[in-house]
Structure 1
C-alpha cells in the first residue's frame, strides 16, 4: 500500500514551498484564447512534409541525434538573416529551455536576474529554478518602459542577467531599440531580449537582431510556437555572439533535442511561407479586437503581438468567469482589472467580441 504523503511531506527546497506550477487553465470550451497559440491548424501539405521528415528518422531512433543540431541551426540562421550563421544560433525544447540554459550559465546561486514586470511570468520562475535571485523592475503606470528609467534601474541593481520582452507579454507592446541599447550600456552582464511574438509586430517595428553585431552581450530568443503554429513541436532558439552559444553548451543536457524534433522543425522551416501565411490574418484580428473594445469604452493596450491586454475595471475575475460561461476562455494574468485575449480566427474573434458586447454592462472603463 502506498504511504499517504503530500508535497509538504517531501524534502523539497524551502524556496519552492507553497508555490504552484506555471500554467494556464486547460478547459474544454468552444473558444480557447488564453495561451497565445496560433489558432490556425498546420496546412495539410506541411503536415505531409513533416510526417515524411519524421518518418525518415524512425529507423535510426536506436542512435542518438546530432548533439549540436547543426543542420537545424543552419536553417534557423537562414530564416533570421542579419548575417547570422549556425555558430551564432542555438536551439532547444522551446524558448523556456533556452532561457533556462542562459540563467544556468550566466546567473545561478549568488547571482541576480532582473526583469521589468508585468512581463513574461516564466522568467522569475526560471530564475527560481536555477537558484538565481530575482529583482522585479518597475514600469510606468501605462506599462511603458523608457530608456532613462530602465538604465537607471539596471545601473542601481547591477544584475548579472536582464530580461527584456519585445513585444512584451502580457501588454503586447514592443520596445524602442533605444531602451535595449540603454540597458546594454548600463548592464554589467548579459541582456536577453525575448522576441517570442516578433513576427506579429506592426510594420516598421525593429527587431533587437539589428543590434547583435555591435553588442556581444546581447541575446535574442525566439520560438516557433506562435507565428509558426508549432507549439506542440516545442522548438525555441536564440541568436547571439558565437561565444555565447559556446557558453550555453557548457550546461545543455547531452542530446537534449530529439531527432524527431529536429526533423519536424526543419520541415516546418522549409515550408515557412505556408505556416506564416496566417500571421497577417491574426494581426488583422488583433487590430479588430483593439478597435472594437475601444468602441465599447474600454482601455486597451497597443499590441505588436498576437494578443490584446484590455481593462475591465474592478474585479477581472468576474468578467473572466462571465466570458467562460459564454464559451470563451481568456487569460487572467494577475493584473487587477485587466484581462488578456489571444487573437485567433475571425470566427473566434466574432465569438469573443459578441460576448464582450453582451457583457459591456459588467465592465467599467479603467480610469
Structure 2
C-alpha cells in the first residue's frame, strides 16, 4: 500500500491483510467449502424466468423488507422442527453482511467481541471493520478433543473478558466440530449483557442428533442464529445469508442496513431456489458420504482428521502443512492452508474430486506426515 494512502487509513487497519482464499485455475478446487454440484437445470430455468420477469421493473427499488423472501425462509426453518415467522428473520448479501449488520448495531468503539479460535476467520475481520475490539478465546481447554469447547471453559472465558458480543460457531469452521446446546445455554447465562451469535453456516451437513441453536430461540432475545444459502443450497455465487432472532433485534438491524440493501435479482434467485428446496438439498447426503470417506481414508493413511459435522475435513499430523499444501497443488488439487501448524482443510467434493484428493494424499502421506 502506498505510504500516503496508508497514512490516511484508520490506524487499527494499518498493516492488516485482506481476506482472500486463493482463486486458482486447477482441476480440483476443494479449498473454499463450496458445494461442488451445479445448480439443477430445473432450478436454473426457474431462476432465469424469475429474473427475466423482474428485469422490466429494475427501474424501481427492490422490496426493502424482502417480505416474501423472509416469509419463505421462515417456512424453511420451521420445517426443520422449530417454528419461526417472518418477523424473526433477516436476510442480506451473504452471511458476512448479516454478521456485519449485527456488529454495526451491537458492536462499535468501546465494545468487545469474543470468539473461540480457531474459528471462522471473518469473525475478527468483520468485528475490526466496525471498530469493535476483538478478543481471541481458546479451544481445547479441559476437553479431550483438540479443538473442543466445553461449557465450563466457554463460561470462564466469557466471565473473564465480559464481551458485548460472543461468537459461537457450530459446526465450527475450520475444525468441523459442533457444539452441544449446553455450551450455548451456558454462554447466554454467563454473559447477561451480551449478544450471543451462533454461526450455523454448515448446519445442514450435521450428523444425526446434532442439535441446532434454533431450538433455544424462544425466551432468549439476545440469541441470534445465522445461516447461509451458499453451502447446502449451492448458491455461493448468489450471496444470500440470513438469521433468526427476536423480532426486536430484527427491528434494530434496520437502523444500520443500507437502503434497499438486498437487490431484486438476489431475492428472485433465492426464492427460485427455495421453491425447490428438496431438490437443492438433494446433494447434502452425497457430500456427507464423501466427507466421511475422507475421514476414514485419511485415518488409514496415518493422518489425523477431525470428525466433522460440516462439508469439509480438517486433518493433521503433517510435518509441514504448507509444503503439503504446495505438493497437493502441484498435483492439481487445491485445499486450504488455514494457518494451523500441521493441519490442512479439504472440502468434500464429488466422488471424482474426492478420489483425486485422496489419491494425491496417499502418494504424499509417506513423505509429508509426521
TM-score (norm 2): 0.96
For the pair 1:167 / 2:171, whether they are aligned, the reply is yes
Residue of structure 2 equivalent to 1:12: 9
Residue of structure 1 equivalent to 2:129: 129
Q: How much has 1:10 moved relative to structure 2?
A: 5.0
Q: How much has 1:18 moved relative to structure 2?
A: 1.1
Unaligned runs of 5+ in 2: none
Q: Secondary structure at the match of 2:166?
A: strand
Match for residue 352 of structure 2 among 347, 350, 359? 347
For the pair 1:87 / 2:93, whether they are aligned, the reply is no
Cα distance in 2 for partners of 1:9, 1:156 equals 35
The question of whether the paired residues in 2 share the 8 Å contact of 1:282 and 1:344 is answered with yes
Q: How much has 1:360 moved relative to structure 2?
A: 1.3
Residue of structure 1 equivalent to 2:200: 195
C-alpha deviations, 1:4-51, integer Å up to 9, x for none? 956755511111111111010010000000000000000000000111
Pairs within 5 Å for 1:67-216: 67-81=64-78, 82-140=82-140, 142-187=146-191, 188-216=193-221
Unaligned runs of 5+ in 1: none
Cα distance in 2 for partners of 1:317, 1:31 equals 18
Cα distance in 2 for partners of 1:145, 1:164 equals 10
Distance 1:217 1:47, change over 3 A: same
Cα distance in 2 for partners of 1:213, 1:112 equals 26
The question of whether the paired residues in 2 share the 8 Å contact of 1:8 and 1:17 is answered with no
The question of whether the paired residues in 1 share the 8 Å contact of 2:320 and 2:368 is answered with no
Distance 1:352 1:259, change over 3 A: same
C-alpha deviations, 1:261-307, integer Å up to 9, x for none? 00110110111111100000000000000000000011111100000
Instruction: Give runs of ≥4 in structure 1 deviating > 4 Å.
Output: 4-10
TM-score (norm 1): 0.97
Q: How much has 1:214 moved relative to structure 2?
A: 3.0
Cα distance in 1 for partners of 2:332, 2:367 equals 17
C-alpha deviations, 1:96-120, integer Å up to 9, x for none? 0000100011111110000000000
Residue of structure 1 equivalent to 2:62: 65
Superposed CA RMSD: 1.2
Cα distance in 2 for partners of 1:351, 1:101 equals 40
Residue of structure 2 equivalent to 1:39: 36
Match for residue 291 of structure 1 among 288, 296, 310? 296
Cα distance in 2 for partners of 1:139, 1:262 equals 37
For the pair 1:271 / 2:276, whether they are aligned, the reply is yes
C-alpha deviations, 1:298-321, integer Å up to 9, x for none? 111110000000004222000000
Q: Secondary structure at the match of 2:230?
A: coil
Cα distance in 2 for partners of 1:309, 1:194 equals 18
The question of whether the paired residues in 1 share the 8 Å contact of 2:106 and 2:195 is answered with yes
The number of equivalent residue pairs is 362
Q: Secondary structure at the match of 1:46?
A: helix
Q: How much has 1:189 moved relative to structure 2?
A: 1.1
Cα distance in 2 for partners of 1:84, 1:250 equals 22
C-alpha deviations, 1:144-164, integer Å up to 9, x for none? 100011011101111000000
Match for residue 223 of structure 1 among 199, 214, 228? 228
